[in-house]
Chains A and B, each alone.
Chain A
Amino acid sequence: MIHTPNVDWFALSPSLALLCAGGISLLGAVLVPRRARRPFGATVCAFGFAAAIVAAALLYAFSPDGHGVISGAIQRDRLFALAAMIIAGSGFLSVWVSATEPMPDDHIAEYYALLAWAGAGMAFLVSASSLITLFLGLEWFSIALYILCAIDVELVGSLEAGLKYLIVGGFGSAMLLFGSALVYGATGALRFGEIASAVSAQNLSHDALLVTGLALMIGGLGFKASAAPFHMWTPDVYEGAPTPVTAFMSGATKTAALVLTLRVLVTAFPQEARLWTIAIAVLACASLAVGNLAALVQTGVKRMLAYSSISQAGFMLIAIASNNALGGRALLYYLIPYSAMSIGSFAVVAARERELNEPVTVERLSGFGWERPLLGVSLSVFMLGFAGFPFTGGFVGKFYVFAAAYEHGWIWLVIVGLAATAVSLYYYLGIVRALFMRPSAELQLAQVAPVAGGSPPPERLLQVGVTAALVVTVGSFFAVEPLIEAAKQAADVLF
């Protein structure tokens, strides 16, 4: 007889809500008339993400102390709940961005289904507390994203993006799986807590198998978080994928990957802290260097944002490398404005893409700020937020990250971070410069009527999404206390 563990359905509720939403919107492909498919899918998907936010909020409220459920395969705690909220929030915003994307109607139901399922996988991943669920969650959302990247077959580069992501992502998954196998081989344990106790019980902290496994796992997670030197897929995939998908990936994938990295390293490998803090710090420095320097020379806005997301990953890795409560808090806080800024800026790019009907370069943003003040001001605020200017959550996030590094005693990491910030100003302010300070005259010619056939889709929905992102970005600066308190509660389960 097979022993079945007790299943805590409540702990799974964010993922379940999203799975249901995905299923329903997939049914829409056969049951709903073609015309209504797009609004139907978007609505169902939005409700799914909203339900996931509510479920995660309830989980947060009712899980004051963390404990393993389903025989320790997943962890029900506030870290998971807060991360699931950020992921579901990112998904919710992405639906608003997707709603007006001129995509062919053929695959619209699948699109929303996959979006919800990817969200479900990420929400599951952040709760993982064993090597099996870790891999399961990772593949779950990755496979959904592979297809999402390639879903718009008429878009130049979309297929290529999907394929590239599939191959490189597959490589990353393989690394992670191999690393997990080595760790299991060394310790004989699958659950994170048991790995830690096995290491201390058997005095394995210098075991070659274990350390190699750890290194491979960090590499595999680095692929998903797009940390240098595992970043090379990022610019191509971000550029090629449909912009709403890019928006979702940049916000939610990074949240899932980074939160999971924090959880694995802190709960499973506390004895190896001396090794992995340095490894993560090196990854952080590499990401900051590669992301910032490469972003300087980009002309395409999506590529530039892709490199900027690599450098932002570098900042958040500093928080993980600090390996202290302040670092955990910094990471969870930073993810909130970061996701909003990231999705918001890709949303504005999507709007401009639609106007021009071709890829957006920095040049082609000239004068956009005066033509469309709401989008222009929002994009400027997002850029200033990435650069860490006050009155955006990005400032407070960076401040906490540096504070965490300082508390760990790594002033050199603070200096590296500040130098990276200084470099990043050039390209972030370059966008503001293009938006407001360059004349737009010669560009009017390039404008093409959006979407062949039919009236342009209503911009309102996208504007709502951008405004929401703006509110989160600016609001998180003023409402630091409640957000940091939530992040503190979440991070305290680890430290």
Chain B
Amino acid sequence: MNNQRQPTTTASAPEPDVRERLIQDMQREIGRFQRLSSRGLWALSLFLLVCLIAWSDFPLFPLPDRVVAMLGRPPSPQVISIALLIYTFSALILSLSRMTMAMEHRSSFSHVGYLTGFFLFYHYARALDDNYWAVIGAGVTILGVESYRIWTYCNEAIAKRREDLEYVRKTGRLPPEG
């Protein structure tokens, strides 16, 4: 076991206001991660709201006939289903790889946007009844994995920051890196 340590230079004790500033910065960081940890759940709630609107056939949106007349024919339901499959697979792979690398990436609300797009495409292709539950399944899966990823990342970051805060309170300086 290697017991040799690098000699540390002794510095003078930092002033109280520097220590207080460090403590406040760390507490702000902890608060930020606490707010971030529930981001996934907010995105899931927003997605469920979109699902309810889709269940009612998008009451405030223009009718499919008008949209088709303006924009032309939508893609066929088979093409939309293939796109949904590829999107679900890619999103899951991306989320799992971010989980592996412990990346702080806030992507939940963008998925709600993409899934709303799929609902609308199926609605205008008049195939929403047949594929409604598939979009919900994809959404719950992707947003569930994302929520879990963000929640575990934030929990680990909060635990680390709390350890650092304890160190700062005792010594008045930041802990060594690593």
| A-B complex is real | no
